[in-house]
Amino acid sequence: MRILIALSVLAFACSSTKDSGFGTIDSGASSSGSSGVIPDGGFGNSDTGTGEKDPPAEVYGHSPTELYKLEPNTKAVTTIGAFSGCTGSVIDLALNERAELYGVTFTGLYRIDKATAQCTSVSTDTYPNSLSFVPKGTLDANEEALVGYDDTDYVRINLQTGKKSVIGAGALKRGLTSSGDIVSVKGGPTYLTVKGGACTAFDCLVEVDPVTGAVTKELGGLGYVKVFGLAFWAGEVYGFTNQGELFQVTVSGASLSTKPITIPGAPSGLQFFGAGSSTAAPVKPR
């Protein structure tokens, strides 16, 4: 989320009827060698057909300047468009239980329209490059809280004032620091990508306590570096890297496995700076 490479990506047209590029999960072994590739076309039908009143089946990723959507049931990815109204590079996203989208730059907090990537300023301050809401009942009985990590510190951002406060100083131990993103799910886990300590060759995935920010379970190396984006849907974790790679993580007990998601047609030099998913995402596979 730190080095900006200029991208040449076509903006999404609301009236577009182009065919979308449909990604497929590789059937091969776990790998860090696949490239995430983003088409500029329209988006396929995201209706799950269940008739349930779940949040929309959607996961969002982004570069410093562009917003993308992943449909987790089909693995189709579309370009929403360029961020408009955000000052500076967007360094992470978070969605609440109503799937409302927020994002931060290094100096600003914004509400972001998911359909247009239009940014509306909430506040100015310095913000972390890992961001997620945690569910009601975690830090407050009746409302969700926006949290993140500044290196080893676990912090909270007040949505009304935009002010950042430390709620877990030095929450990460043994040389670990946040490598890029956190994701939390109601009734499910809270995951964080970390680096340092024993995680030298690749970034690692850990489970954390969303109250204190402390690591509760070390799940192992991801086989990728600079995993700046993390999201969750229906029992699966999705990772987005600074090299433009997109992959799926399956956690089983205290271990994990990964599969690259290949999506045809992206610009050269694509970087992902972050990702997000609703705190009300389904916990179990559909």
The pLDDT tens digits of the residues spanning 246-272 come to: 999 999 999 999 999 987 787 778 999
pLDDT at 267: 74
Taking 50 as the threshold, does the pLDDT of residue 28 lie above it? Answer: no
Taking 60 as the threshold, does the pLDDT of residue 285 lie above it? Answer: yes
Domains and CATH numbers, the chain: 24-276 (2.115.10.10)
Share of the chain above pLDDT 90, in %: 75
Q: In angstroms, rounded to a whole number, what is the distance separating the alpha carbons of residues 280 and 53?
A: 11
111-138: per-residue pLDDT in tens?
999 999 999 999 999 999 899 999 999 9
* Cβ neighbours, 10 Å, residue 71: 23
Reported confidence tier of residue 56, pLDDT bands at 50, 70, 90: confident
pLDDT at 161: 92
pLDDT at 60: 98
Please say whether the dihedral angle defined by the alpha carbons of residues 38, 16, 46 and 115, taken in this order, is positive or negative.
positive
Taking 80 as the threshold, does the pLDDT of residue 189 lie above it? Answer: yes
Average pLDDT over residues 90-96: 98
Q: In angstroms, rounded to a whole number, what is the distance separating the alpha carbons of residues 25 and 19?
A: 19
Taking 90 as the threshold, does the pLDDT of residue 1 lie above it? Answer: no
Average pLDDT over residues 213-236: 98
pLDDT at 53: 64
Q: In angstroms, rounded to a whole number, what is the distance separating the alpha carbons of residues 167 and 146?
A: 12
Taking 60 as the threshold, does the pLDDT of residue 151 lie above it? Answer: yes
Whether 102 and 94 have beta carbons less than 8 Å apart is answered as: yes
Taking 50 as the threshold, does the pLDDT of residue 100 lie above it? Answer: yes
Share of the chain above pLDDT 70, in %: 81
Whether 81 and 12 have beta carbons less than 8 Å apart is answered as: yes
Amino acid of residue 264? P
Amino acid of residue 248? Q
Taking 60 as the threshold, does the pLDDT of residue 44 lie above it? Answer: no
Give the mean pLDDT of the chain: 84
Q: In angstroms, rounded to a whole number, what is the distance separating the alpha carbons of residues 238 and 250?
A: 9
